[in-house]
Structures are given as C-alpha cells and as structure tokens.
C-alpha cells in the first residue's frame, strides 16, 4: 500500500520534520552529556562541574521542549493540507458521476480520512526521527565508546527486520479484520438510511441483536488481529531492551575492570535507548494508522475509477451530417434530439431503453409517457447526465446548462433558503422562487424537516432559479407527486408559463400535468387516463387553502445543543464504561505497572553503571543485572497486555453504545423527521460512536497512569532522599498541573470545535454524495465543493489550534521533567557528600524524571481532549436518553393490546416537541376492522404527524386516540406499536435482494414463504416484472433500490407492508409514482388484501376514496376553529363514520 500524499507544502514539511529530528537528537545528546557530567561531578563533589551541567541540561531541555512543540504544529499543518486535498479529490470524483453508495462513500470520506491524522501526527514525525536520531546519536556513542556503538549498529537493523516479519504474519488476519469492519460499516450505513422503514415495520428491536452480532464479530476478528499485530511492539520492546542490556553489560564489565571511564559509560547508557526509541515509535504509530490507510486505499479506488461516458458531450456532432444539432445559447431554448439510445441495468435481461429516437422541439413542453417501469425516469436521467447510456447520442444539451428536478429531491443546504441560494444567480431570485412555489414561510427551515410534498416544491423552486441563471432546458420527473390539488395546480401553472421560452421535458402520471404537453413521447404500452382525469378539481368546502405548516411544528433539531454542565456527559461516560468496568480497571492497572517498570528500569540502569564504576565483585551486581532484565521484559509484556485489554474493553463498550444509540433512535422514532433521516442516524451510529470510542482511552487512562507513576516516584524519592522532593516536584507539578492546564487554556475549546465541525463535515459530505446527481446535472458541483472546502478549512484550523495547544502543553512537560532531572544534581550533591545516600543512588534519582516524561505526556492530551469527549458524550446522550427513560424504574409497561377491532380519534390534538402551536387540533374519526380511514389535506397540514402519532412517536397534546374504546396510553407502547405497519411516501429499499427486503416484514420466527412473497408481488402488479428476472426473488435491488424504477420501488415497499401481520396498516401516498391504471389496480388489490384489517390511507387523490370509507380532511395552516358537535355520525357496518370535524 502506497504512503498517503503529503499535500501542498508536504516536502517542505518533511524537511522541517527531519530538521526537528536532528535538533531533537542534539537535545538528547546535550542532556546525556549534562547528566553524565553532573552525576560524576556530584559524586566527586565537584560543584563547578554539576553547576555547568545544570546550565547545559536546562538548555538541552529547552531545545527538546521546543522541538516537541514545533513537531506537533508542523505535523498538524501537513495533515490538514493533505486531508483537505484528499477529501476534495474524493468529493470531486463523486460529483463527476457514477454509482456511489451514500453511506459507504461518506464513511470513507469522513471518519475514514480523519483516521489519517494518526499517520501525519505520529507516523510521519516518527519516520523522520527514525532517519535522523539514531544516526546522530549513534555518532556520539561512537565518539565516546566504539564497543557500545558496535552493539547498537548490530542490533538496530533487527527492529525493521522483525517489523516486516510480524507485519507479513499479520497480513491475513488484518484482511479478515478489515472485511469485518467493512461489513459492520455497511450494516450501520444501511440501518441508518432505512431507519424510517424499520420504524414503520416495527422491526427496530429485531435489528438490535443483529447489530450486536455484527459488532461482536468485528470485535473478535479485530482482537485476533491485534493479538498478533501487537506482537510487533512486544518484539520491538524486547529487542530494544535486550540491546540496551547488552550495551550495559559491556559497559559494566569494563567499568568493573577499570577499562572505561564512568562519564563515558553514562553517556553511552543514556543515549543507547534513544537509538531504538524512534523505531519503536514508528512501529506503534504505523499500526495505529492502519484504519486511515485502509480508508485512503478505498478512496483512491473511488478517485481512480474512470467517470462514466457522457453521450451528450460525445454527440455534439451528429451522425447524420444533414441534420445539424441545435446548440443552445444563453437565451435560446434548445431543440434536443436523441438517436439510437440504449440503456441497460444490472441483473435485467432486457434493456430499459432500446434504440430510442426522439426529438424535443425548442420552446415546447414534451410529456414522456408510459407505464411504470417503462423507462421514463431513465430517459430523463440520460438527458440530465445522471444515468449512463450504453449506446446512442444526444444532441442539443450542454452539460451543466440545464435545470433538473428529479423524482427524489436531495438537499445540501442548511435551510430552505440556503438550498435555493446554491442554485440561484441572486438572493432576489431565490426569494422570488420560494414565493412562486409557496415555500417562503419555510425559508429558514432545515430541509430535512420538510414533508415529501414540500420537498417536491423545493425541487421545482431550484429549477426555476436555474432558469433565472440562464438554463433553457427544464427536466421534470413527477413534478406534482405528493402534492395536494391546490399545490399541484400552482405547479401546473408555473410549467405552463414556461411555454415558448424553455424546452420542457417532463414525466408524470398526473393527467393535469400531461395535459400541458405540446407533444408526447410514448415508452412501452400507452398509458390510460386516470378516472376523472384532467385538471385537478376544486377542493371541497371542508378543506382549507393550501399552505405549509409553520416551521415551529417540525420537531426537535437533529443537532442537539450541548448542555451547559458536564453532568450529562459524566452520566453517559459511566454508562459507557459499565459493560467492561473490570477490563477498564485492569487496563489502567496494567498501564500504570508498565510505566512503573519503565521508570524502575531507568533508575536501576543508572544505579548499576555507577555501582559498577566502584569496581565491586561481579557477583554483587548480578541481582541488579537480573533486575534490569526483569523490568525491561516486564515493561514490554505489561504494555502488550495493557493494549489488548484496553482495545477489548473499548470495542465491547462501543458495541453496547451502538446498541443504546439504536434503541434511542427507535425511541425517538418519527418524533423528529430530521432525526429519522439517514444522515442523522449515520452521524450517531458511526461518527459519534467512533468518536467516543477513540477518545475514551485517550482521556481516561493517561491521567490514572500518570498520577500513579508520579505518586510512586514521590514515594521512592521520599524514601531514598527527601531533600530531592522539591526537585521532583518540578516534574510532578509540570506534568500533572502546568502542562495540562497550559494545553487546556491554549486550546480555547479547539478540540470541542473540531468535534462540532467534523459532525458538520459528515452531514455535508453525506448530503453531497446523496445529491451528487442533482448537483452535477444543474452545474453546481464547484459551488458545493467550495462550501465543503470552507467547512474543511474550519476543521483544519481547529486541528491546528488543537495541535498548537497540545504541543505547548507537552513542551511544558518535557521542560519540567528535564529541569527536574538537572535540579536533582544540587539536591543530591549535598546528600552524597554528607553520606546520606550512596553514589549509585545519585544516578538513579537524576535519571528518574526522564522516565516520567512518557506517562506525563499522556495527561496533557487527556486533559485537552476532555471537552471534545464531553461534547461527543452529550451528543450521544441526547439520543440514548429516550431509551433510558423508557427503561427507567417506575415506567413499567402496560398490558399488551388485544387484536385491534376499532381505532378512534377523540378530539385529538398533537404538537411537535418544542413547537409553539399544535400541528392540528380537534380531530375526530372512527374506523373499524375491514374499513378505511382516508386522510386528505394540503402539504404540511399534519398528515404525516397523524401517522407518527398513531405509531406512538408523538404523544397527544389534546384529547386522545383510542383502541377498542380504551385510551392508547393504557397499553404498552412497544407492543401497541407492533400492531401497526407503516409504508412511508419515500419507502427505502435496502441494498439487498427483493427477497431480503420482503423478509423484513416479519420476525425471524415467522418469515414469509416464497409462495407468500410471489403472491403479494402479484397483488401489487409486479408478477410480470418478477417473471422476467433471471434471479427472481434473489435479484439485487442496488443501493437504495437504484436498480428499480420509482414505481417498482414503491410497489415492493407496499408488498412489504402487506406481508406484515399488523392489525392497522398506514399507507402514505402508496400510488405516488404509479401510472393511472397501475394506481387504480393497486388500490383495488390493497382493498382486497387488507379486507380484514384497519387501513389509514393518506392521499391527495379523491378518486381513491370509496363511499364506505371514513374521511378526514386536515385544514393545513389555517386557524383551527371549534369542533362542531354534530359532525361525528355513528352508523352501521360500512357506513360513513366521519366526513369532517373541525
């Protein structure tokens, strides 16, 4: 795998890091010289010697502190520049076209590339240090003692050799772990995108065990890989320890025999470990960066894939030279000609379009007509450049100079107005377009909170501002789907007004739209007119004028605002730690023990060298020699065990966290339309969970390890030499107080800001991938890239600020420990002169503060990252709190409901959380088993709010709704919800097969048979389509059902709802994407299939209502009036229960 790119200024960054590595080597050499001279001077009572050493050591410590700080800053700058370029390249390739899975691409482009921070922050500095420090330090050892230098030269090459050997050994296991991670990511992404469907089918709880199972599989495979991968660090530690031990043995033996000076021996001993440290750091850092490297590899695969051929560009010159194409200008409407167009889809035996020839005259309105699945959306997609053609040419279309309004609208703006501004040439144009489509009251609303009908009008407004910007070709796919009659008439009038100035090509199943056409292009069998066809009839007198619901009816924000205190974060942290509490404590204990062994090894090595210089019998040194080996090997083994325990604990806790997040999203359900979107679920299930997973070990363990090691050091110095405690206090105060406090103050919430900005990057990137076709077709790719780059710039700025603060805090720690070490010289000089301590103890105490640097550096990062962890925990808490409230003591569930025979709305009023006014009030209706309640009303009038209430996700603010005469609150909410099934307007199909999507209708112990699935597909009119598929039920539907047409997707979703055993079926615009005959046939089949159930149908088509249906009309934004007591008419079986009650 190739290394990541260095980005702009990358080579300069490598050069600077190399220079900093050289300066660090000089600092290490200076410190070694200072301590060796100081120890010798203190033992000999040479005050001038240790005073000079004190000054030299302070200067060396200051230089090392400066390099520590600067390295962090330079590495962060390189990381920011490189990631910015990588993310932009990936985004540009996605916007260039082709099929891209929203979730997988988003995961790679956001949390995946963010994991490259480990490479730039750790691998790159470690690599440059490995290239400079061993060389310069080795030269100094050679100048002091050629024997020690020879040992280092012979043993250092063993480290990269074993790194390669262990790496190859772990390659297969790493591939298994990567595959498990991809399965987990794909599963999470699919769960996130299909959240509303799972809510509607009551399958949320059933997905929780599957989520746990896949997460646990990932944990097991990852741990199996880590057990082998961490052997790399263990082997490196052992090689380094044994190599330094060999150096110590040679030095000690020659000191015992008087063949070596103590000063030379101390210099060699202090510098020898520094030759191995950069290589050990490089091995550990390289493993930590593997997730980012894998994401880089996947992003490069995406970027390197060739974009699909655009036949519009290739067809600028006609095959028929006698008929030159019409090339549009900025003011002229184009004539568009199609010749021999062929389009094929995977797993489909016949092409969607085969040899199509068509012409769309300039300034006319052309209606593309045909039954569902005949290729209408495919043809429009080819003209827009979002569908790849396999043969043929298109003349008269300039890519990026058209207006495209697809069947499914995707947005990238933070508000409705912001979305329109992206497409508009001016602010005035955007405002005018919103007024023309009736969305101006919702200009400040998050588009995620819009109903499908409102989204449809938003898409049309985007098309209108594109025309203001100079486009003269308008492509419309189902422009009035999900719209009430008044809104549809407004859209029809807007389309009609474009005649003569714009070439309009549209596809619609609504006769009011197709009647506007100057000509028709027929695909497949001709479409029959809908009963009662023609323009939409006027509304009856029970309705209200079309108008959107106020923005404050939309529910809570999907971006939870953090609380002012950290109480919620601490509670969430306690819950996160609970599943693996014992392993967390064990990991902290192992980490502390490893740090203590390292400090003890440093002290004992110094003691051994000075004691050897006193030339005792070699047997007197054997205990110390064995102790050096014990502490060296023990440090490596403890570190290995600590890493495994920490990763096992964090992966187990993250599995439980994702399960709680899923339960929280299930508890939230449809109470917030924005929270139920795939982007919001993706942010929480993937990004927030990963953020907590990465930060908890960084924040919790280092303070425990650092404090434990510092306390042990204080006790040791207090026992050995109490006068030296003030000198040690400099290191302790600097490491546990001044350093972390400096980082926290200098950070100025940069770590927290980075968490917030990264959340924004995830949402923006996910939205961009989902809307890539619309952005490319409408020529807005560069503008979106600029917006994404601006957000990325803010993330880079926060990263640099955080690195600047962390580097400053670490510099304080390094300087404090360095000063503590040299201050030990005067503190111990008097004690050794007075006979209070022996000469070997002087070396042990002087070297001790240097052994505290590593554990104390972790405290700086932990304190600085706490605000970021607290922010992540608060965001998680905002989701998990709902599930926690349901499980809280005192909230015992009610009884399970019996089979539902009657459903009644009793003066019902409902308000969204935090809303200023109810979405609707005084609703009354009764519907019995075997009958339908038909709900109508303008877009935004509260139809979806009513469905969310019946599904148990919104409580009644006024009145109640009853089940068999009992208040719905009397039953267990979860069990009552299982009695309902919901088929939403924009039904998501999972990236599986037709069979896999239908199996979701029931639990694992009641799976539908193949016969049942074939029967229900025949009921919804898909039998001919299924018979033509070679793989039948096992045909993949593609990401989001992309291999099927809009009508086919809708019918599969309806079939899925029919397979449920729910007593009440909620159908939200089930015929929105069907042609008239198919819609009428589907409604008839639904009435037959659901004859023994209660059905609540939301529709804008009055023709779908029968005389026997109860009828409920919502008035929209008009002020609600008092209910009329005489409106509720009770009748016998099959009679009208309600005609209107307001």
**Average pLDDT rounded to a whole number, residues 1127-1140:** 31
The listed range with the strongest mean pLDDT (97-106, 235-244, 770-779, 1100-1109) is 770-779
**Average pLDDT rounded to a whole number, residues 1045-1071:** 86
Round to whole Å and give the CA distance between 865 and 770. Answer: 32
**Average pLDDT rounded to a whole number, residues 613-630:** 84
Higher pLDDT, 111 or 476: 476
1107 burial level (CB within 10 Å; 0-12, 13-18, 19+): exposed
The listed range with the strongest mean pLDDT (428-442, 756-770, 914-928, 1082-1096) is 428-442
What is the architecture, at CATH level 2, of domain 902-1127? 3-Layer(aba) Sandwich (3.40)
The pLDDT score that the predictor gives to residue 325 is 37
Round to whole Å and give the CA distance between 349 and 1029. Answer: 7
Q: How far is CA 275 from CA 125, 155, 235, 241, 715, in A?
A: 15, 10, 16, 12, 31
The pLDDT score that the predictor gives to residue 182 is 64
The pLDDT score that the predictor gives to residue 167 is 63
The pLDDT score that the predictor gives to residue 804 is 92
Q: 741 and 752 in contact (C-beta within 8 Å)?
A: no
The pLDDT score that the predictor gives to residue 546 is 33
Q: Is the pLDDT of residue 467 over 70?
A: yes
DSSP code for 110: I
Which residue matches tokens 């009992």? 966
Sign of the dihedral defined by the CA atoms of residues 775, 778, 779, 784, in that order:
negative
Q: Is the pLDDT of residue 314 over 80?
A: no
Higher pLDDT, 1141 or 638: 638
Q: How far is CA 153 from CA 163, 275, 1046, in A?
A: 17, 9, 69
The pLDDT score that the predictor gives to residue 544 is 32
Q: Is the pLDDT of residue 592 over 50?
A: yes
Same fold, 10-305+572-613+625-885 and 318-547: no
Round to whole Å and give the CA distance between 754 and 110. Answer: 13
pLDDT confidence band for 323 (50 / 70 / 90): very low
The tokens of 301 are what?
């695969």
Indicate the pairing of strand 920-928 with strand 902-910: antiparallel
**Average pLDDT rounded to a whole number, residues 765-783:** 88
The pLDDT score that the predictor gives to residue 1116 is 60
The tokens of 705 are what?
């390890």
Indicate the pairing of strand 1094-1098 with strand 1064-1068: parallel
**Average pLDDT rounded to a whole number, residues 575-600:** 93
* Residue 149 parent element (H or E): helix 146-155
At residue 993, φ and ψ (nearest 5 deg) are -105, 175
Residue 1112 three-state SS:
strand
Round to whole Å and give the CA distance between 83 and 1059. Answer: 47
Round to whole Å and give the CA distance between 279 and 1119. Answer: 73
Round to whole Å and give the CA distance between 39 and 49. Answer: 9
At residue 934, φ and ψ (nearest 5 deg) are -100, 120
Q: Helix count (H) and strand count (E) of the chain?
A: 39, 17
**Average pLDDT rounded to a whole number, residues 1084-1092:** 86
Round to whole Å and give the CA distance between 286 and 282. Answer: 6
Lowest mean pLDDT among 173-182, 1013-1022, 1057-1066: 173-182
Q: How far is CA 935 from CA 440, 925, 955, 1072, in A?
A: 26, 10, 19, 15
The pLDDT score that the predictor gives to residue 680 is 67
CATH homologous superfamily of 318-547 equals: P-loop containing nucleotide triphosphate hydrolases (3.40.50.300)
pLDDT confidence band for 5 (50 / 70 / 90): low
Lowest mean pLDDT among 376-390, 734-748, 791-805, 1063-1077: 1063-1077
Q: Is the pLDDT of residue 90 over 70?
A: yes
Mean pLDDT of the chain: 82
Round to whole Å and give the CA distance between 240 and 245. Answer: 8
At residue 355, φ and ψ (nearest 5 deg) are 65, 40
Q: 961 and 950 in contact (C-beta within 8 Å)?
A: yes
Q: Is the pLDDT of residue 814 over 60?
A: yes
Residue 209 contacts by C-beta under 8 Å, 6 or more apart in sequence? none
Higher pLDDT, 483 or 393: 393
SS3 of 637-681: the string is HHHHHHHHHHHHHHHHHHHHHHHHHHHHHHHHCCCCCCCCCHHHH
Round to whole Å and give the CA distance between 681 and 505. Answer: 36
Round to whole Å and give the CA distance between 880 and 667. Answer: 9
Round to whole Å and give the CA distance between 551 and 855. Answer: 52
Higher pLDDT, 84 or 431: 431
Residue 651 contacts by C-beta under 8 Å, 6 or more apart in sequence? 218, 219, 222, 223, 693
SS3 of 918-969: the string is CCEEEEEEEEECCCEEEEECCCCCCHHHHHHHHCCCCCCCEEEEEECCEEHH
The pLDDT score that the predictor gives to residue 671 is 59
The pLDDT score that the predictor gives to residue 558 is 45
Provide the angle, in degrees to the nearest 10, between the axes of the packed helices 567-577 and 853-887.
90
DSSP code for 449: G
Round to whole Å and give the CA distance between 96 and 103. Answer: 18
Over residues 900-929, the pLDDT tens digits come to 999 999 989 888 776 667 788 888 999 999
Tell which CATH classification among 1.20.1730.10, 3.40.50.10320, 1.20.1560.10, 3.50.30.10 matches the domain 10-305+572-613+625-885. 1.20.1560.10
Say if pTM beats, i.e. exceeds, 0.85: no
């Amino acid at each position: 795998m190739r290394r990541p790119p260095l980005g702009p200024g990358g080579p300069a960054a490598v050069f600077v890091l190399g220079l900093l590595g050289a300066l660090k080597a000089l600092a290490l050499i200076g410190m070694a010289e200072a301590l060796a001279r100081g120890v010798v001077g203190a033992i000999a009572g040479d005050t001038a010697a240790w005073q000079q050493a004190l000054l030299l050591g302070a200067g060396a410590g200051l230089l090392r502190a400066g390099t520590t700080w600067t390295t962090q800053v330079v590495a962060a700058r390189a990381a920011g520049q490189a990631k910015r370029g990588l993310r932009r390249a990936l985004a540009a390739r996605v916007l260039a076209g082709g099929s891209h899975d929203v979730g997988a691409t988003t995961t790679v482009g956001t949390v995946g590339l963010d994991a490259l921070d480990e490479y730039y922050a750790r691998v790159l500095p470690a690599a440059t240090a490995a290239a400079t420090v061993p060389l310069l330090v080795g030269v100094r050892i050679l100048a002091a003692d050629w024997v020690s230098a020879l040992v280092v030269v012979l043993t250092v090459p063993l480290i990269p050799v074993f790194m390669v050997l262990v790496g190859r050994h772990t390659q297969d296991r790493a591939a298994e772990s990567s595959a498990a991670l991809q399965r987990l990511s794909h599963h999470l992404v699919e769960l996130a995108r299909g959240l509303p469907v799972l809510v509607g089918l009551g399958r949320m709880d059933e997905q929780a065990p599957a989520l746990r199972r896949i997460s646990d599989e990932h944990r097991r495979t990852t741990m199996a890989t880590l057990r082998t991968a961490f052997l790399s660090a263990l082997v490196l530690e052992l090689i380094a320890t044994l190599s330094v031990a060999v150096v110590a043995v040679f030095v000690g033996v020659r000191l015992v025999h008087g063949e070596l000076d103590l000063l030379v021996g101390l210099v060699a001993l202090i510098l020898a470990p520094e030759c191995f440290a950069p290589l050990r750091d490089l091995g550990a850092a390289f493993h930590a960066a593997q997730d980012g490297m894998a994401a880089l590899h996947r992003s490069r695969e995406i970027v390197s894939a060739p974009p699909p051929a655009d036949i519009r560009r290739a067809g600028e010159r006609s095959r028929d030279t006698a008929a030159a194409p019409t090339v549009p200008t900025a003011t002229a409407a184009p004539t568009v000609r199609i010749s021999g167009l062929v389009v094929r889809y995977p797993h489909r035996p016949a092409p969607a379009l085969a040899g199509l020839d068509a012409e769309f005259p300039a300034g006319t309105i052309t209606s593309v007509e045909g039954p569902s699945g005949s290729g209408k959306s495919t043809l429009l997609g080819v003209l827009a450049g979002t569908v790849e053609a396999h043969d043929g040419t298109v003349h008269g279309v300039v890519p990026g100079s058209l207006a495209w309004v697809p069947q499914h609208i995707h947005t990238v703006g933070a508000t409705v107005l912001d979305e329109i501004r992206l497409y508009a040439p001016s602010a005035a144009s955007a405002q005018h377009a919103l007024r023309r489509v009736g969305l101006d009251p919702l200009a400040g609303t998050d588009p995620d909170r819009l109903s499908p009908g409102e989204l449809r009008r938003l898409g049309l407004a985007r098309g209108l501002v594109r025309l203001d910007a100079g486009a003269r070709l308008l492509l419309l796919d189902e422009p009035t789907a999900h719209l009430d009659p008044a809104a549809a008439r407004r859209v029809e009038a807007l389309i009609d007004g474009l005649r003569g100035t714009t070439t309009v090509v549209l596809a619609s199943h609504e006769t009011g739209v197709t009647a506007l056409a100057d000509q028709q292009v027929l695909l497949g069998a001709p479409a029959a007119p809908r009963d009662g066809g023609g323009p939409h009839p006027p509304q009856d007198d029970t309705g209200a004028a079309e108008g959107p619901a106020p923005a404050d009816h939309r529910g809570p924000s999907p971006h939870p605002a953090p609380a002012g205190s950290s109480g919620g974060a601490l509670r969430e942290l306690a819950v996160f730690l609970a599943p693996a509490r014992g392993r967390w404590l064990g990991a902290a204990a192992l980490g502390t023990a490893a740090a203590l062994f390292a400090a003890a090894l440093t002290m004992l090595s110094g003691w051994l060298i000075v004691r050897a210089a006193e030339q005792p019998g070699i047997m007197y040194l054997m205990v110390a020699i064995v102790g050096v080996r014990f502490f060296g090997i023990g440090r490596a083994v403890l570190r290995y065990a600590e890493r495994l325990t920490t990763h096992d604990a964090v992966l187990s806790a993250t599995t439980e966290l994702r399960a709680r997040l899923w339960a929280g999203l299930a508890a939230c359900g449809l109470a917030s339309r924005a929270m139920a979107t795939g982007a919001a679920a993706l942010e929480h299930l993937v990004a927030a969970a990963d953020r907590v997973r990465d930060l908890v070990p960084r924040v919790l363990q280092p303070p425990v390890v650092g404090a434990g090691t510092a306390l042990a050091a204080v006790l040791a110095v207090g026992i050995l030499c109490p006068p030296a405690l003030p000198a040690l206090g400099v290191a302790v105060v600097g490491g546990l107080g001044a350093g972390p406090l400096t980082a926290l103050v200098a950070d100025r919430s940069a770590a927290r800001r980075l968490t917030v900005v990264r959340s924004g990057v995830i949402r923006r990137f996910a939205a961009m991938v989902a809307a890539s076709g619309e952005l490319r077709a409408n020529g807005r790719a560069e503008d979106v890239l600029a917006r994404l780059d601006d957000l990325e710039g803010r993330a880079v700025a926060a990263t640099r600020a955080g690195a600047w603060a962390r580097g400053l805090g670490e510099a304080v720690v390094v300087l404090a420990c360095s000063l503590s070490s040299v201050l030990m010289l005067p503190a111990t000089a008097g004690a050794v002169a007075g006979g209070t301590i022996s000469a070997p103890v002087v070396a042990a105490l002087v070297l001790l503060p240097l052994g505290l640097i590593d554990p104390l550096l972790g405290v700086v990062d932990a304190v600085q990252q706490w605000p970021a962890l607290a922010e992540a925990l608060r965001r998680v808490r905002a989701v998990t709190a709902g599930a926690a409230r349901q499980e809280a003591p005192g909230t015992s569930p009610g009884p399970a409901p019996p089979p539902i025979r009657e459903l009644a709305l009793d003066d019902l009023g409902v308000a969204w959380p935090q809303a200023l006014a109810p979405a609707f009030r005084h609703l009354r209706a009764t519907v019995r088993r075997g009958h339908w309640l038909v709900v109508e009303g303008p877009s935004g009038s509260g139809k979806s709010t009513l469905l969310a209430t019946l599904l148990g996700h919104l409580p009644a603010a006024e009145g109640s709704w009853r089940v068999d005469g009992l208040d719905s609150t009397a039953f267990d909410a979860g069990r009552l919800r299982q009695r309902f099934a919901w088929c939403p307007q924009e039904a998501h199909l999972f990236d599986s097969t037709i069979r896999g999507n239908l199996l979701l209708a029931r639990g694992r112990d009641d799976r539908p048979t193949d016969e049942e699935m074939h029967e229900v597909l025949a009921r919804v009119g898909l039998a001919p389509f299924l018979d033509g598929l070679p793989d039948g039920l096992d045909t993949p539907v593609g990401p989001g059902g992309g291999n099927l047409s809009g009508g086919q997707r809708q019918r599969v979703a309806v079939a899925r709802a029919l397979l449920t055993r729910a007593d009440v079926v909620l159908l939200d615009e089930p015929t929105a994407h069907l042609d008239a005959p198919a819609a009428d046939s589907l409604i008839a089949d639904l009435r037959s299939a659901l004859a023994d159930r209660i059905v609540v149908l939301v529709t804008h088509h009055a023709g779908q209502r029968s005389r026997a249906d109860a009828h409920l009309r919502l008035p929209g934004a008009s002020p609600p009036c008092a209910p009329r007591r005489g409106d509720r008419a009770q009748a016998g079986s099959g009679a009208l229960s309600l005609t209107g009650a307001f």
